[in-house]
């Protein structure tokens, strides 16, 4: 069975990248393999995580390329050069254009730290999501893995997992619990599920 070639796009610490790499090592992800980690931030600790795992790391920044189109073209060139089948956004803080997302239709995954359609869309990222959940007073939050299209957090949902909000939670404690109890579980599982489908397609092709 042909393994799916995966690229992970990152901007920061790379905790979700680590969850993917750990899942690959433990065999949870077996239909695909991470071939490259691409960061739009040269200082991202995720690049160190990639190096520690023996995975190629690349930095491609908007500053280098000046326009969104040129920036995305550089990412596309890197993906095509490595024959990437599946892209995973793991804390990638850059909205991708419709031109890019259409090119990789149903081949880009993202994890969002809420139960979409709650607390999602433009401007909802990182701690802001958890701040909004606490301000609203919800008793349950969670995480969602979805396909990426041109609408922020608007693509088809693949998996969701609920997490209880506890009395006294801060955005930071809630963020950590959502990562540990939801994101780090459903993201690797979704990567494997989509990789298994793409792997079968590769075998047919």
Name the catalytic one among 30, 66, 112, 146.
112
β-strand pairing of 32-39 with 4-10: parallel
Residue 63 exposed, middle or buried by CB count within 10 Å (0-12, 13-18, 19+): exposed
CB 115 within 8 A of CB 141: yes
Distance CA 57, CA 37 (A): 5
- Sign of the torsion angle spanned by Cα atoms 100, 104, 109, 115: positive
CA geometry: angle 184, 155, 88, nearest 5 deg: 40
Q: Using an 8 Å Cβ cutoff, are 203 and 1 in contact?
A: yes
- Has 106 been annotated as catalytic? no
Identify the sign of the CA torsion 87, 4, 58, 82: negative
d(CA 196, CA 134): 37
Interhelix angle 127-136/171-178, nearest 10 degrees: 110
User: Which residues are the active-site residues?
Assistant: 112
């Amino acid at each position: 069975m042909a393994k799916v070639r995966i690229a992970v796009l990152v901007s920061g610490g790379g905790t979700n990248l680590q969850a993917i790499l750990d899942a690959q090592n433990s065999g949870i992800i077996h239909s695909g393999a991470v071939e490259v980690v691409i960061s739009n931030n040269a200082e991202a600790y995720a690049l160190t995580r990639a190096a520690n795992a023996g995975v190629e790391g690349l930095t491609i920044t908007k500053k280098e390329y000046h326009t969104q189109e040129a920036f995305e073209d550089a990412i596309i060139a890197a993906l095509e050069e490595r024959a990437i089948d599946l892209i995973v956004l793991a804390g990638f803080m850059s909205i991708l254009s419709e031109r890019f997302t259409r090119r990789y239709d149903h081949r880009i995954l993202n994890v969002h730290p809420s139960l979409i359609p709650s607390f999602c869309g433009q401007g909802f990222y990182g701690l802001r999501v958890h701040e909004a959940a606490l301000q609203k007073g919800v008793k349950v939050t969670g995480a969602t893995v979805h396909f990426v299209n041109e609408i922020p957090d608007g693509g088809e949902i693949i998996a969701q997992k609920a997490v209880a909000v506890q009395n006294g939670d801060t955005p930071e404690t809630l963020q950590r619990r959502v990562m540990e109890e939801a994101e780090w579980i459903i993201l690797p599982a979704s990567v494997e599920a989509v990789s298994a489908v793409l792997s079968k397609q590769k075998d047919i092709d």
